[in-house]
Chains A and B, each alone.
Chain A
Amino acid sequence: MPSPDLSILIIDENRIRASIIEEGLREAGYARVAVIHDVNEVGRTIASAMPDVIFIDLENPKRDTLEHFFSLSRAIQRPIAMFVDRSDGTMIEKAVEAGVSAYVVDGLKKERVKPILDMAISRFNAFSRLTRELEEARSALEERKIIDQAKGILMKTRGLSEPDAYALLRKTAMNQNRRLIDIAQSLITAANLLGP
């Protein structure tokens, strides 16, 4: 059961990821979601948003700053501790693996916080997956360009057709037990060294 009354603060320098998490929480019925991109704003935001749950990405070098702020923040009358329950090792582990840590105000029931943590963790994971896939797509595109260039060199210098040039690259890679892309790269390097 979501607790839509809970106030949630997301601190993430990555604006896209922050908005993906914000959107997920809103879709799940949490209306009180605030996002900041700089830890330095946290004092002001905590005073105005009075968050019950705070997320910060683990890449953020200012995590230490944030934790120290919490330890001083008796001023805001709401002690904040990392994660909901020190004994819940699995939850903490899942979060850290996903690249996020959570801080929860004292006294909040685990059942109320768990769906929020689950949501943030799954959105963090989805974002990493997306980034990885994009990265793979980009490097696949890069590789194709390199292979095309290597084929071009073979076609020009050896007078081969495109399928034959590709077959030669492939055969060489198999014979040498190397990746096709590495053979193509070596060929381009060699061609560059040997001049036009």
Chain B
Amino acid sequence: MSLPHLTAGFLPLLDSALLVLAHELGIAEDEGFTLGLTRESSWANIRDRTALGHFDMALVLAPMPIAANLGLTPIATPMIAPVMTGLGNNAITVSAEIWAAMSDAGAPGDLAAGPAGKALAQVVRTTPRKLRFGVVHQTSSHNYELRYWLAASGIRPDHDIEIVVLPPPLLPEALGAGGLDGYCVGEPWNSVGVARFGARIATTKSNIWQWSPDKAMGMRADWAKQNPELVAATIRAIYRAGLWCEKEENRMEAARIMSAPAYLNQPVEIVARALTGQIDGGTKIVSLSDFYVPHAGAANFPWKSHALWYYSQMVRWGEVQPSRAKAEAAAATFRPDLYREAVRSLGAAAPIDDYRREGDKGEAHLVPSSDGTVELGPNRFFDGGTFDPDAVDAYISAQTGNV
């Protein structure tokens, strides 16, 4: 009997590691299905082809399925995200020229978000032309975390600088050609910028917001409803791929697999930087053990509070008019219920709660799970902000947006 075959779209990003590993290590087969992976050229294609059913699922920017359910996308197909593909894994990279100016303005080159942001603010103030930064998509963690960092550093994203959209693999070259002053992207495209175009990493997602969400497996809500076993098998396959990838002794093997032409098509040495947490910012190598968290700290658990934070940022930057119904639709996109049910048979601990506060813990801490406790990572925002999912409206009204 042949196994059911699921098709999945992805973009060449290290964030696709768990999906790729589920396929390459035979975890998918072990969970009762085969995976056909298709590398796509744009997030728009991922969005449309998943919505139309050309793919059963895809590696998506975590805010993308939320945007679909809030009516921000062209095809009105309800989407869900039942499993996350890890935390972190982004950085903000600037050109050599901007870095030189930031360095003069006191940026220490240690990848810390606060001092780098302060230095960039000074550069923005003293540079006569408007700096231009690239992000990978409008409804992306990259767009929101770049804007969060800029705004908290005293830079108004839509006034003081310009933000444009380019797909990840094109960003380093655009910066090298002088078309961009900086960009926010997933790995390996920051490291590629450093290695090939003399760029510098200014700060990292893990330093802007510790252990924060980025990508998920997205799928159509009706497909998920019709195929509960396949959804559960997918969740387990991603979970197990995460468990494998979390182990330090497997990180170089993961880098080797991801560096292949069919996936990232980049030298293994560059791919390994994020996987080993040895981030070469261009001035020095900084060790960031939680730059990318594939599994630890319930990294694959889709917190509804994370969906709400994305919603708050969509409101902040004028993409969505706030309403209770929209907040509910955003939260309903992430499906911790499906996750919990799926990993139960693995004997895995999943948090009991669907929501958590963010920004209130500087250390790893325990939360209740189905059979005891599960450890979560620290969750600080670099500016000391806190996010309470029970007080989203207050959080939204306290935000400064495009004014």
Contact = CB atoms under 8 A, between A and B. Distances in A.
Interface of A: 58-65, 67-69, 71, 81-83, 86-87, 89, 92-93, 96-97, 101
Most buried by B among A68, A86, A93: A68
A65 B74 contact: no
Contact of A65 (B75, B76, B164): B164
B136 A64 contact: yes
A63 B138 contact: no
Contacts of A87: 76
Given A62-B166, A86-B74, A86-B76, A96 B43 contact: no
B52 A68 contact: no
A67 B48 contact: no
Contacts of A69: 165
B44 A101 contact: yes
Interface in B29-55: 41-45, 48-49, 52, 54
B54 to A, nearest CB: 7
9 contacts: A62-B166, A63-B41, A64-B136, A67-B165, A69-B165, A81-B74, A89-B75, A96-B52, A97-B54
A82 B75 CA distance: 9
Contacts, number: 62
Contacts of A97: 54
B215 interface: no
Given A64-B42, A68-B165, 19 more contacts: A58-B41, A59-B41, A60-B41, A62-B42, A63-B44, A64-B137, A64-B165, A64-B167, A65-B164, A65-B166, A67-B44, A67-B165, A82-B75, A86-B75, A86-B76, A89-B52, A96-B54, A97-B54, A101-B44
B170 interface: yes
Contact of A82 (B43, B74, B136): B74
B63 interface: no
Interface of B: 41-45, 48-49, 52, 54, 74-76, 136-138, 164-167, 169-170
Nearest to B135: A68
A96 B167 CA distance: 19
A65 B41 CA distance: 12
B138 A71 contact: yes
B interface: dominant SS? loop
A65 B136 CA distance: 9
B165 A65 contact: yes
A186 to B, nearest CB: 26
B42 A63 contact: yes
B320 to A, nearest CB: 13
A58 B42 CA distance: 8
Contacts of A96: 48-49, 52, 54
Given A62-B166, A65-B164, A96-B54, A101 B48 contact: yes
A128 to B, nearest CB: 15
Contact of A93 (B52, B137, B164, B165): B52
Nearest to B167: A61
Contacts of A67: 44, 138, 165
Contacts of A63: 41-42, 44-45
Contacts of A60: 41-42
A71 B137 CA distance: 12
Contacts of A86: 74-76
B52 A64 contact: no
A94 B167 CA distance: 25
Contacts of B76: 86-87
A170 to B, nearest CB: 31
A26 to B, nearest CB: 27
A61 B42 contact: yes
A93 B75 CA distance: 10
Contacts of B166: 62, 64-65
Contacts of B41: 58-61, 63
A24 B293 CA distance: 52
Contacts of A58: 41-42, 45
A83 B164 CA distance: 23
A55 B63 CA distance: 26
A67 B47 CA distance: 12
Nearest to B54: A96
A72 to B, nearest CB: 9
Most buried by A among B136, B165, B166, B169: B165
Contact of B170 (A61, A71, A101): A61
B315 to A, nearest CB: 16
Contacts of A101: 44, 48
